[in-house]
Amino acid sequence: MMNLDDPFQSFLDKGYDTIEGWPGKKDSVSFLKVFRELFGVRPDMGGACEVGVHHGKYFIALHNLLGGDKLSIGLDLFERQERNVDASGRGSWEICLANVEKYARNPSLVKLLRHDSITLKPSQIRDQAPGYVPFSIVSLDGGHTPLHIVRDFLFASDITSEEGIIAVDDIFHPDWPGVTEGLYSVLNQKVSPFVPFFMTRKKIFCCSASVQHKYKEFVGDKATVKKREVKFCGWDLLSLNFGGEY
């Protein structure tokens, strides 16, 4: 259990490298600290949620990033691997729980749920979270088929704060083309208010269209790595180069 002034940095320093997982370079994860300035201490914004937590590497980082004093929920098939149709990771409930207990601030505010996200409804998440408020960050790293991405993105759109962020893993990964196909589909259909505002070599980050320009400018001001403006599904966004992350 962590009771340090900055549990996020402490986890990156002491726990991050000990956990199996593929969230990308530590520098790109560490960069997310800048969003504390945007989120602040707001009662209308909750903790983190991740679909596809595996052993909790990125999930714990997000929970601690947000202070660890609001409920965070991690979803995974875990041992229900017969439903893992594209073999995208084999999460372990026991290993993930042990990592949460060891590295998450206030582990009692972390819930791990065995669920197939493709059939999950937002009401089921709210039922698991007394005093539920929409999450500040929702990370999608579950099924990598186009259908999973579309379903998970729409699900995330319903449980993320209007000021929050949705992160989609494995964008443009040559082994997982379904991620890019699914994201193109959901964005081109314009069925979610969330649109992209920046990407790394590993992930793409989305926010409400109402704050897209504000968030893109914020990232541009804060990023010290090489960056360039690109266009994706009609939106101008920033590409930040932290180096190869696969």
pLDDT of residue 4: 58
Name the region of 164 (left: φ>0; alpha: ψ -120 to 50; beta: rest): beta
Cα–Cα distance measured from residue 27 to residue 245, given in angstroms and rounded to the nearest whole number: 10
Mean of the per-residue pLDDT values of the chain: 91
Q: Which residue has the higher pLDDT, 78 or 112?
A: 112
246: which 2 tokens? 């696969």
pLDDT of residue 179: 96
Q: How far is CA 159 from CA 47, 117, 135, 168, 220, in A?
A: 11, 13, 6, 15, 27
Going by pLDDT thresholds of 50, 70 and 90, the confidence category of residue 84 is very low
Q: Which of 121, 160, 110, 162 is nearest to 140 (CA)?
A: 160
Q: Mind listing the pLDDT tens digit for each residue in 189-199? A: 999 999 999 99
Domains in the chain with CATH codes: 24-241 (3.40.50.150)
Q: Locate the DSSP E strands across 129-234.
A: 135-140, 160-169, 194-199, 203-208, 226-232
Note whether 73 and 160 are within 8 A (CB): no
**Residues ≥6 apart with Cβ < 8 Å to 98:** none
State mean pLDDT over 60-74: 95
First to last CA, the chain: 30
pTM comes to 0.93
Q: Mind listing the pLDDT tens digit for each residue in 109-161? A: 999 998 887 888 888 888 887 778 899 999 999 999 999 999 999 999 999 99
Q: How far is CA 81 from CA 76, 87, 93, 148, in A?
A: 10, 8, 12, 15
